[in-house]
Structures are given as C-alpha cells and as structure tokens.
Amino acid sequence: MPYLCQGGVLGLERIDVLVPWANAFAPKYTTYKGFWGLIVALLLSSCASPPSKPGDICSIFLEKEDWYASAKASAERWKAPIAVQMAIINHESAFVDDARPPRVRFLGIPLWRPTSAYGYSQATDSTWERYQKKTGNSGSDRDDFGDAIDFVGWYMQQSQLELGLSKSDAYKQYLAYHEGQGGYQRGSWRDNPSLQNTARKVAATASRYQQQLSSCQTELNRSMDD
C-alpha cells in the first residue's frame, strides 16, 4: 500500500492520475465503467493524510489523537524534547507517512531515487536497520508515526552520546540528523549553506512548537488520562 500511496505505480509521481488511467481500461460498453477507478479510490482512502495545520503543534496533536502519546513516550524514553522531534519530522517529510526523495529525472522521465530514505523520519534502509538492531524494535515500520518518532528520539540520543550535542539544540541536532554523526564530525555541513538554512528553519519551528505546546500540553496530558 505505501507504494501506491506514494504514486509508485508505473513510476507516476501524482496518484491523482491513477483513477482516469484505471478507467481507461474498463470497457465503455459495460455497466462496470468506473469500477477500476473506484477500486483505486478505495485503496487510496486508506493512505494516512498529513495534519491539516502542520505549523501548529497543538492542532496536530488534537487532530491526530494518538500522536501525542507516541511523542510523549519517545520524549520520556530518550529525554528528547517533543518540539525538536516534531520539527525534524516536519522538515524531513512534512508528516507524509510514505514520503520518499523525488526521483532523478532524465528528459522528463522519472528514473531512480537518490537514496532509500522513506517514511515520516526519512530514515534510510541501513540506518533504520541499525535502529532496529540497537533498540530491539524489530517489527518497527518507517510509515508508522509511533515508530518513526521513537527513531528520531533515539537518533538524537546517539548524537548527544557521540558528538556531545544538546538535545535541545535543534539546529545542531538537525545537522547531525541530516549528515549523520560521522558527516557532522567531519564538518560536511560547513560548506552547505542550503542545509544550514534548513537547520535554522528547523530550529525556528522547534521554538514555535515549544511555545505552542506550553499552552496545550496540560490539556493533552489530561486527555491521555481520560
């Protein structure tokens, strides 16, 4: 299902073209015209939708009722601020569960993807396998929000242990998240102004999220207890 949600069928990048494409294969003379389009629409309806207001963390948690419990569990397990974790996910995938990097194109033809990054956290295959091995969470999935945010908290913990980065420092944490701990240590980000600009945006989002969260966290905690 994630492959269809992402628009991977026939290399298509926009899934909204699938319904008319499917209908084209239904015989015009049959009463089943539109059947395949209906099937595709039903399949797509199972795809998780991102929050309607991604810039407001209170709105996110009120809309996605189980996300706050997952974020809080990760924060307690890894001692990583919820606001920083959520800011990283926002800028990595825009909260799209099956997000992937855009395909490389040649003459307008979509070809391969540059990395194996996938899901909310945009973790690559190898990094996700390392997370599973280190945490024992072998059944985790990158398109599951609870697993993804636990991964982000774990990764922030590794960056603190290996690099001494404060988990509250969203700017440096994002640089290490994007480049890997080894890349951060080598300074691969220093000559990348675009990445530095993105890291500043992550830090600004984390700061805004923290301010917003302070106004609704009591209510969110209370709703968990009900």
Encode pLDDT of 73-110 as tens digits. 999 999 999 999 999 999 999 999 999 878 888 888 87
CB 151 within 8 A of CB 131: yes
What 8-state DSSP symbol labels residue 102?
A: P
Q: pLDDT band for position 47 (50/70/90)?
A: low
Domain range annotation of the chain: 2-44, 57-225
Quote the CA–CA distance of 13 and 100 in Å, as a whole number.
Answer: 10
196 or 25: which leads in pLDDT: 196
Predicted pLDDT at 61: 97
| 27-31, 61-65, 109-113 — most confident range | 61-65
Q: Judge whether residue 68 has pLDDT over 70.
A: yes
For 176-188, what is the mean pLDDT? Answer: 96
Predicted pLDDT at 13: 41
Quote the CA–CA distance of 222 and 226 in Å, as a whole number.
Answer: 6
Q: Judge whether residue 44 has pLDDT over 60.
A: no
Query: 57-225 maps to which CATH number?
Result: 1.10.530.10
Residue 174 exposed, middle or buried by CB count within 10 Å (0-12, 13-18, 19+)? buried
Partners of residue 118 on adjacent β-strands: 123
CB 224 within 8 A of CB 69: yes
